[in-house]
Structure 1
Amino acid sequence: MASPPELDDNGRNNNSRTNLESSPESSRANNNAGLNSRNSPTPLVNDEINLPQIPAPSIFKRAWSKLGIDKTVAVLVFKGALAPIIAAAIYQRKSVAYIYVNFGYLIIVVCILAVTILPRGKFMMNMSISVLLTCLAMAMVLLGQYAGIKARQHTTPAGASPDIALGYNSSAAAVNAIFLMLNLFGINTLRAARPAFSIPAVGFNIFVLLGFTYGPQMATITSSLRFSKELFYSFLTGQAIGTGVSLLIFPISSRKVFFGEAAGFLQSCRGLIKSQVAFVEALEYSQMECPLRPDTRFASGDGSETDHVRDNQPEESENRDLYNQRASSLKASSMALLALGGKLRDDVVFAKREIAFGHFQSKHIHEMHRLFMDILIPIVGFSTITDISERLNFRFCTDTESTEESDSAGITQTQGSEGGGESESVEWKELIRPLHASLKPFAQVLDDSILHILILLKFVPNPNRVKSKSEKRTDGAGREGASFNQDIEKGLNPGDIGFGVYLDKTIDRYRAERSENLKTWAAERGLSSIFRDSQERAHSPPKPDQGMDSRHAGSRNSRFSERIHLIFYMEYLMYSVSKKILAVVRCAESRVGDGTLGKRQFIFPSHKTVTNLVKGLIHGEDSNPGIYKASGVGANVQTVSLGHSLQTPKDPEHLPPKNSWQAFGDRLRVIPKFFGSDPSKFGARVTVASMSIAILAYLHQTHRFFIGQRVVWGIVIICLGMNPTTGSAVFTLITNLGATVLATVAAFINWYIVGQNTAGIIVFLFLFLMVYFYFLVKYPRFLVAIASGAITHVLIVGYELQVRVEGIKAATTTGQVFYEIYLLAPYRLLAVGGGAIVAYIFTIFPVPITEGSVLRRDLGTSLFLLANYINSTTSTVDHRLQDKEGDMSLPSSPGRKLEKLRHDLLQKQFALQNSMRRNLSFMDWGPNFGGEFPKKIYTSIIDEVQNIINYLAVINFASETFPAARRESPSPVWLLEFAKSRPETSAEAQRSTSLLILLSASIKNGRPLPPYLDVPSDSHLSEQIHGDKADIITFKNLNEPGFRALAAIKLAQSCMADSLSRIVDPVRELVGEVNFSYQIVDSNEPE
């Protein structure tokens, strides 16, 4: 559901569905909301035919639009193809070719691998790592070739002929092969363990492959140095050209990318708020519409009731379609905002690292990102209303059917049930319509507030202020449309300093008005307590001696309570959104007030930022969340006893070390742990696959063939396209082969379409490179295939251009055989295609790692992390209610430790969710032997896990209200009394954690579940607010701080328990249950 710090990005689905209405409430284009979006579209008039017709766009523009090419895409495509074409062009000069000799085409390849289209921050980190790895590769090649030369000298007899002394030597070949294996294993293990090394590792692989496969030919130190220098200079030149293009040609800073995404994020918030208001309007159709039951619809013999129902069916269907469409639009808008939130989270790191000349320092960017993430949690959390509404509707339909079936009075009771349903439907509409009436103008104020932020931060220009204020006041969606908005601040416009004060007063008036409306509504129906009676009945079975009316009354009261909770849930989230927007408004106004936006200055990353960057590259992200030493708590005056999850994890095979020797032994155990890790296993697979071809370079009978036919580039494709699982390997194999074939055809076209003219070839090479980068920008999923195609194209065309400059004699000095392009292209195709096939073979051999096995393992881990997250959330709510978090400014306080723990757990859940959904998408690609993989069951479990994460995030967010409410002066009496009367966390509260750990172990190990597994209900919080304590939770406290948060927590807890119950049965279906009972069925017994 949500993005950090408390919510996730579960998928990258940015497609929103079209709304039925063409009003500003539609969220189809929420990312591009206009600056003056409060004005509704002009309606069509009768004389529209008299308007001048707009000429149709040209074919070129239509094609441009169809391909999705805008200014940004065009710039990226041009910039990506520019560096390789510069490298190809400068090599045509003989003085340049003299320096690089046989590796001129390699400069073009390195320019492609530089990925100049990356923003400056990402590019500089990528290039810095690439240069360091290039230097390391140079050092390793020099060392390996030197060792090979010494081995040759030691094994060559004195006075041997030149053919023997300078020819093939098995010792030199063996030494180079060993060095190649060690380097391949090390870099590919590092690539799997540290994603930041993925692109630089490709260059390292190419360098060591070329260095060590040509190494056995190096008979002297001089030849080795000359060869290594040419190779080294080619790499550095390609990296230098890429750096120049990235920094000088259409420079794109990471800060600019972040600010652009921030502007898109705020505009998306405007669109999402409109979608929320539209959904609330349609929410009245979400309840009280169960499927028709033929056996209960005939109220009279003449069929008049049936005719009435049939007459209402089209209207009900239309209303339901409207609700479904707006719900889909709300979900799509929320997913789009989540995607932007995920991009912001990734890019803020690079934005803070950049050296720049601008307004905002790193601390300002950090604060801005934090405030945006604070908005993200409640505004995306609002989308859970669609799921909650469906759950409540299902409960209503189930209760209605159960009530009807429990009584045998038949037609009379059915009529009473339908009458009650119509009454409840009317009362539900009476509850939801005033909410929409108040929410619509309030949402417009929030929309203006976000526009105010955009203007102050200079993300958008200030709209024209010449427009008369009277015109604004007559706008039906303007501020004056709200009863709580009439104030002297009505003359304020977005962009005016002081708008924040107006927003603050508007929020208070809106909340007070809604509280009075709800109190009046409750008083008219005789309701006082929010939880009493209704919740007691909701969690107790109906009594057999209860009559029909009594059962309907109990069910009706329960639904009233649930709907009140739903109203509180929506109001709390919208109120939280408004408060978080107010915080951003105040931040933006303070940036204007302190002169930050009035001057530019040089900005450098802080020492802490640089330190964290280096530590992140070396150590990577913490793989064990929640590992905190108890000694870190010593700064507190009090003695804090940490739970097991806040301490170092226990090792079932080793007790904690008691002396220095045992501590040293603990450190030694890191070595076998490293070689048994998944990255090491992947590195070993890549090494074995690569050596299965590279061995040809070290055998006497085949080493000339290997060098002459350029087989080394097949190994490059292995290192580039090796995948850990079978499904993704099949996908990569097919796309690599397809891209390579197309690239070969494109190389022929590139060479012959201009009559083999060098200038024309270079121009068309530039055009083809732009095509490759276009697909890379538009379809990044095919990165490996596109890279393989581009490299194949450059290897064919670039080599032939190189031969034209240096001549055939110089081109064949390294042992390569010269071919015309019509022969070279097929050989390149065979080498690259063979590498792709070998990569696939060693993915499934000797033991295939299927997506199913990885998915099962990840799901078990996800359930275990979810158990930890539930437990930490329960502790967080307890601590906040009891005011036991401590000083949150101290890293050693219990509250801060829990906060970091939850953040780490969520980050891992996000990664696992993305991994599981990616494996699900590749599931159909892999070979499947035996029964069908239960994809639907796994999908349903993953979806429910995501739902639980969503609700837990809302609970964590809502519980933040309690400490803030305690700081109010005076503190709310109801909260103090409720916290005192609330017992410590009981075993009942931990049953969900216990259940999830059992489910995790069963899924991960493939073991059946224990019998009579009891699914916990949502009674933990409910039982504590029944009886005498329910008097504390009354409507008179409705406007008190934190009051609505309690109802939001209760509803989220109920939905979480419902999702948990939906996980147990699918898991039981997957792994079974321990049950040795049997039943003998008599075959003669009638069924």
Structure 2
Amino acid sequence: MASPGPGLHDSSNDNPRTNLESSPESSRSNNNAVLESSNSPTALIRNESNSPPTPAPSIFKRAWGKLGINGTVAALVFKGALAPLIATAIYQSKSVADVYLNFGYLIIVVSILAVTILPRGKFMMNMSISVLLTCVAMAMVLLGQYAGIKARQHTTPVGASPNIALGYNSSASTVNAIFLMINLFGINALRAARPAFSIPAVGYNIFVLLGFTYGPQMTTVASSLKFSKELFYSFLTGQAIGTGVSLLVFPISSRKVFFGEAAGFLQSSRGLLKAQIEFVKALEYSQMECAPHPNTRLAPGDEPETDHVRDNQPEESENRQLYNQRAASLKSSSSALLALGGKLRDDVVFAKREIAFGHFQSKHIHEMHRLFMNILKPIMGFSTITDISERLNYRFCTDTEWTEESDSHGLAQTQDSEEGGESESVEWRELIRPLHASLVPFVQVLDDSILHILILLKFVPNPNRAKSKSKNPTDSAGREGASFNQDIEKAGGINPGDIGFGDYLNKTIDRYRAERTENLKTWAAERGLSSIFRNSQERAHLPPNPDEGMQSRHEVSREKRFSERLHLIFYMEFLMYSVSKAILAVVRCAESKVTDGTLKKRRFIFPSLETVTKLVKGLIHGEDSNPGIDKAGSMGADVQTVSLGHSLQAPKDPEHLPPKNSWQAFGDRLRVIPKFFGSGPAKFGARVTIASMSIGIMAFLHQTHSFFIRQRVVWGIVIICLGMNPTTGSAVFTLVTNLGTTVLATVAAFINWYIVGQKTAGIIVFLFVFLMIYFYFLVKFPRFLVAIASGAITHVLIVGYELQVRVEGRKAATATGQVFYEIYLLAPYRLLAVAGGVIVAYIFTIFPVPITEGSVLRRGVGNSLFLLANYVSSTTSTVDHRLQDKEGDMNLRSSPGRKLEKLRRDLLQKQLALQNSMRGNLSFMDWGFNFGGEFPKEIYTSIIDEVQNIVNHLAIINFASETFIAVRKESPSPVWLSEFAKSRPETSIEAHKAASLLILLSASIKNGKPLPPYLDVPSDTHLSKQIHGDKADIITFENLNEPGFRALAVIKLAQSCVADSLTRIVEPVRELVGEVDFSYHIIDSNEQVTLATR
């Protein structure tokens, strides 16, 4: 079987995960992204031919296809089950069993916890932490048992009988219990605070639980050392077996995973570009049909108000259906690509840390990732196009000036309106059809360019040149382009994979931009349009003129709608142009790696010292520390002093002023201790400790100590530590799934033991089969990680212990106080112990104070709105600074622009993580018990969706404003940008009203307090309302081809969507928390009837 490494391309799991969850899922699904091109109707690699139809697959292949089993999944399943198989097999040797004695079965458990299916970079980090924690656990157990032995010696009378001297001792038990509580609290608090410790913490919990629950039995230092050594060797052996399997059997390096995901990212980009073409084609009719807005919540029995075009023809309904289908396809493609981008961000860190033998060094991988993210930024905007189109359509269908006038005038006016609507439809099609005609050949060139990148980077093989030369002429005609002259002679016969293809792409981009500019100028000149904003903002802030007639107001409404639609065209063209430039940069990079010899030979590659330092800092501080940012903010002597805003400084403490001397500074550091004990991770650690000791106390009491040891109750505590959850909904989910998998694992253990007539060889073979089944579900359904781990551990504890007794004999097996049971008794006892642990974990999740998904979600929404307020404010400042050229030297770590950039990036990452967390809470909402009224899940979902929309639009604004920096570096600098920057005043209060509103909403929803009355929702006129009049010539179509000019329309349209989403957030929040309002209204029954029927 071939190595599965190169096939790990896709990522369909975008939920917050531990390292275990992300890797197998990504390893499995990455293979699908690369194969997507061959399965889709439009092949991404153009290899269509008149081949005979393929025969129908066999039943076996169809079954494997339904199970989702391919080469990669099979290899991962085999690899995951191999380590515990080896551990089980070697223990059947008497010489091996004599080393580990009663803890041989732990080798199997630890080999499972090694998670050998992880890519090499993640595995080595996980294993390094595991070995380190194992050593720490060994030291802690030795220290605790030594202290317990000394406590026993000091409290035992001289000359005491052996029953007293060697029996139960309360002092020794107390000391071991205290050490156990301290260790459980520390490791579980660390697990909650540092996700990288999630898997290693399970092994640490098992080690200290076994060490300290057996600790009261230790009467001498020698017996303690012997016991601890057996336990320690068992853990290290299991980890060594896991390491060998991970590195030698189907080795999967993090670099291969990254390159596979990079190939999947590029292939998905090709598919998304083609989905964009199909959407633009369907967009031709979408703006003329009205439908309820997807985010509009209607009361039961209410009808949408946009029914004035209900007499659409069947053809229009079919067009609308086609539009919805293409929009859904575009959203799906965008979501998949964004998920892949998230996986690239996660895995590039591990790819740069690996020691490898290959072509690309860490700096090359870093550069490739940066270029891929530059492609992802404008592509993120594709996911917003459907939303923007729906918003414009909704505004058209709810235009009060249009609908009210149509309802209040006679038949002649209605006929005029219909004629006007038909005219608008024709003009819109005249605007959108040339765009589609230009995009078809242009996207084909971009598709070939991405194929060119894949070939040069050796992600796909280079097609046979003979085939490419004999290709159907119509196939190359697509690349030549019908709407702009690109014949094959001008391309010089260059094909994907040939050096120099980048020059051809660059010329194509320039021709496409020039043609689209002339097309739009001609279209605007025919209709007498001069300004790209027209009257949409010129009239928006003016009071309505009562002297205007209906026709004039119709004209104003029409101009406003066409201004918005024109902005949509600019928006799509800007994003497509930005994508093409980003692809061109990747093409240049790939060609440079070929010409400079990087891809000619392999070499040993080691991580840089900076990368290793960053890794250690990230583990300690719990964040991916960036040494490229100087937090001290020191600036050179030749640089002006910059006064930073509060958000760019250390956060304020309302109870303490900044320290003025060294003693106060020392006191500030001491306050970290109570702050830690009041933090969420510490509270979670305390809950786990209390839950564990509710059962573990039996190990330290005279009446129950022997029962605890005999019946192996310790494994119930292990399940508590493994399955404890912070919220009630996820706790119910864990309770149900853990109990279910534990029962199934017990049944499987019986089958495993008896189906082969209790023969050792057959038992081991079937154990391997069952372990593969567990790992199959782990690879396919990582959401059930804890449940699958509980089932696998239960199975191994039952079968592994019985096999262990066969090797070492009953006398040795019962030396530690455990009672031997046949499997038909042992299995139920194991099941009861594990089930008891699951139930206790659930009890202490809801006791003494249940932490519901609803309360967590409410606080999460409040935090999300506060982060959004900061992101809005930082984006507003960024646009102003870039327009005014006040960012400073971005090469300086302490420049204002550099600090603002880091702040925006941190805010965006926190917001995206919080979004994933809130959606996870929503998914568990149905599992929790809800007493009282129903939880308003739909309202919270609508708020979260609108927050996500705002984040997407703000990201586009930040990306579009980068154009201003780039064009200023050109020589000469564009005149229009300088004039435009001068025409705008400094940042006003109006610009930050959105941030103020979001902070108010955040405080209200977090504290459950009503909103203040008469909230002022800001408008979207901040960018352009001051540039009319004398400076109106700045934004004319004459400057349309100027660098960065289209970015104005992109920012304006995105700002409009942000303001629209803000309006949609206010009302749901008001519905949740209410409003400060002491007014009252007396409404008689007649008026109620009137209102109800209106």
Provide the TM-score with structure 1 as the length reference: 0.94
2:733 aligned residue (727, 731, 734): 731
- Structure 1 stretch 405-414 or stretch 494-503: which is displaced more? 405-414
Pair 1:180 & 2:187 matched: no
Offset of residue 967 of structure 1: 1.4
In 1, Cα distance between equivalents of 2:133 and 2:878: 45
In 1, Cα distance between equivalents of 2:563 and 2:130: 61
Q: How does 1:572-611 map to 2 (within 5 A)?
A: 572-611=574-613
Partner residue of 1:991? 993
In 1, Cα distance between equivalents of 2:290 and 2:80: 57
1:596 aligned counterpart, secondary structure:
coil
2:975 aligned residue (966, 973, 976): 973
1:492 aligned counterpart, secondary structure:
coil
Pair 1:350 & 2:350 matched: yes
Q: AA paired with 1:250?
A: F
- Please list the CA deviations of residues 688-709 of structure 1 after superposition, one character each: whole Å capped at 9, or x if unmatched: 0000000000010000000000
Offset of residue 1040 of structure 1: 0.3
Q: AA paired with 2:927?
A: W
In 1, Cα distance between equivalents of 2:47 and 2:612: 49
Partner residue of 1:330? 330
Aligned length: 1046
Q: How does 1:527-546 map to 2 (within 5 A)?
A: 527-540=529-542, 542-546=544-548
In 2, Cα distance between equivalents of 1:524 and 1:650: 58
Partner residue of 2:417? 417
Partner residue of 2:514? 512
2:537 aligned counterpart, secondary structure:
helix
In 2, Cα distance between equivalents of 1:733 and 1:108: 25
Offset of residue 636 of structure 1: 5.8
Partner residue of 1:960? 962
Partner residue of 1:233? 233
The answer as to whether partners of 2:371 and 2:586 remain within 8 angstroms in 1 is yes
1:492 aligned residue (491, 494, 519): 494
- Please list the CA deviations of residues 276-310 of structure 1 after superposition, one character each: whole Å capped at 9, or x if unmatched: 01100111111011269xxxxxxxxxxxxxxx999
1:690 aligned counterpart, secondary structure:
helix
RMSD (Å), alpha carbons: 2.3
In 2, Cα distance between equivalents of 1:903 and 1:856: 24
Structure 1 residues 813 and 636, CA, compared in 2 at 3 Å: closer, same or farther? Answer: farther
In 2, Cα distance between equivalents of 1:380 and 1:1033: 26
Pair 1:193 & 2:182 matched: no
Offset of residue 1080 of structure 1: 2.9
In 2, Cα distance between equivalents of 1:1051 and 1:555: 17
Q: How does 1:392-471 map to 2 (within 5 A)?
A: 392-399=392-399, 402-405=402-405, 408-467=408-467, 469=469, 471=471
In 1, Cα distance between equivalents of 2:951 and 2:941: 15
Structure 1 residues 776 and 635, CA, compared in 2 at 3 Å: closer, same or farther? Answer: farther
Structure 1 residues 312 and 920, CA, compared in 2 at 3 Å: closer, same or farther? Answer: closer
Pair 1:133 & 2:140 matched: no
Pair 1:386 & 2:396 matched: no
Offset of residue 1078 of structure 1: 1.2
Provide the TM-score with structure 2 as the length reference: 0.93
The answer as to whether partners of 2:205 and 2:718 remain within 8 angstroms in 1 is yes
1:924 aligned counterpart, secondary structure:
helix
Offset of residue 407 of structure 1: 6.3
1:798 aligned residue (767, 784, 800): 800
Q: AA paired with 1:1080?
A: I
In 1, Cα distance between equivalents of 2:366 and 2:269: 19
Offset of residue 115 of structure 1: 0.2
1:823 aligned residue (810, 825, 829): 825
Pair 1:319 & 2:319 matched: yes
Partner residue of 2:1066? 1064
The answer as to whether partners of 2:121 and 2:253 remain within 8 angstroms in 1 is yes
1:1023 aligned counterpart, secondary structure:
coil
Partner residue of 2:29? none
2:435 aligned counterpart, secondary structure:
helix
Partner residue of 1:98? 98
Q: How does 1:46-445 map to 2 (within 5 A)?
A: 54-290=54-290, 313-399=313-399, 402-405=402-405, 408-445=408-445
The answer as to whether partners of 2:630 and 2:894 remain within 8 angstroms in 1 is no
Offset of residue 543 of structure 1: 2.9
The answer as to whether partners of 2:380 and 2:952 remain within 8 angstroms in 1 is no
2:670 aligned residue (668, 684, 706): 668
Q: AA paired with 2:361?
A: Q
2:547 aligned counterpart, secondary structure:
coil
- Structure 1 stretch 26-35 or stretch 490-499: which is displaced more? 26-35
Structure 1 residues 705 and 624, CA, compared in 2 at 3 Å: closer, same or farther? Answer: farther
2:599 aligned counterpart, secondary structure:
helix
The answer as to whether partners of 1:857 and 1:1004 remain within 8 angstroms in 2 is yes
Identity between Structure 1 and Structure 2 (%): 84
The answer as to whether partners of 1:626 and 1:646 remain within 8 angstroms in 2 is no
Offset of residue 519 of structure 1: 0.5
In 1, Cα distance between equivalents of 2:864 and 2:1087: 47
The answer as to whether partners of 1:469 and 1:491 remain within 8 angstroms in 2 is no
2:1011 aligned counterpart, secondary structure:
coil
Q: How does 1:698-777 map to 2 (within 5 A)?
A: 698-777=700-779
Structure 1 residues 263 and 979, CA, compared in 2 at 3 Å: closer, same or farther? Answer: same
1:485 aligned counterpart, secondary structure:
coil
Structure 1 residues 399 and 625, CA, compared in 2 at 3 Å: closer, same or farther? Answer: farther
In 1, Cα distance between equivalents of 2:13 and 2:70: 27
Structure 1 residues 586 and 1027, CA, compared in 2 at 3 Å: closer, same or farther? Answer: same
Q: AA paired with 2:547?
A: D
Partner residue of 2:688? 686
In 1, Cα distance between equivalents of 2:52 and 2:986: 74
In 2, Cα distance between equivalents of 1:1034 and 1:64: 61
- Please list the CA deviations of residues 577-614 of structure 1 after superposition, one character each: whole Å capped at 9, or x if unmatched: 00000000000001111100001100000000000000
In 1, Cα distance between equivalents of 2:52 and 2:904: 60
Offset of residue 404 of structure 1: 3.5
In 2, Cα distance between equivalents of 1:12 and 1:441: 39
Q: AA paired with 2:414?
A: T
In 2, Cα distance between equivalents of 1:786 and 1:450: 40
In 2, Cα distance between equivalents of 1:32 and 1:944: 34
The answer as to whether partners of 2:34 and 2:263 remain within 8 angstroms in 1 is no
Pair 1:37 & 2:44 matched: yes
The answer as to whether partners of 1:630 and 1:642 remain within 8 angstroms in 2 is no
- Structure 1 stretch 776-785 or stretch 529-538: which is displaced more? 529-538
Q: Give ranges in structure 1 of 5+ residues lacking alignment.
A: 1-7, 14-25, 44-50, 293-307
Offset of residue 560 of structure 1: 1.1
Structure 1 residues 130 and 626, CA, compared in 2 at 3 Å: closer, same or farther? Answer: closer
Offset of residue 1028 of structure 1: 2.0
In 1, Cα distance between equivalents of 2:38 and 2:404: 48
Greater length-normalized contact order (CA 8 Å, ≥ 6 residues apart): 1
In 1, Cα distance between equivalents of 2:921 and 2:586: 38
1:475 aligned counterpart, secondary structure:
helix
In 1, Cα distance between equivalents of 2:229 and 2:34: 58
Structure 1 residues 433 and 402, CA, compared in 2 at 3 Å: closer, same or farther? Answer: closer
Q: AA paired with 1:995?
A: L
- Please list the CA deviations of residues 208-242 of structure 1 after superposition, one character each: whole Å capped at 9, or x if unmatched: 00000000001111111110000000000000000
Q: Give ranges in structure 2 of 5+ residues lacking alignment.
A: 1-11, 18-32, 293-307, 1090-1094
2:634 aligned counterpart, secondary structure:
helix
Offset of residue 1024 of structure 1: 2.3
1:357 aligned counterpart, secondary structure:
strand
Structure 1 residues 576 and 1083, CA, compared in 2 at 3 Å: closer, same or farther? Answer: closer
Q: AA paired with 2:480?
A: E
In 1, Cα distance between equivalents of 2:728 and 2:266: 41
- Please list the CA deviations of residues 321-356 of structure 1 after superposition, one character each: whole Å capped at 9, or x if unmatched: 110000000000001101111111100000000000
Q: How does 1:636-675 map to 2 (within 5 A)?
A: 637-675=639-677
Offset of residue 411 of structure 1: 2.0
Partner residue of 1:3? none
Structure 1 residues 143 and 1001, CA, compared in 2 at 3 Å: closer, same or farther? Answer: same
- Please list the CA deviations of residues 167-206 of structure 1 after superposition, one character each: whole Å capped at 9, or x if unmatched: 1000000000000000000000000000000000000000
Structure 1 residues 792 and 27, CA, compared in 2 at 3 Å: closer, same or farther? Answer: closer
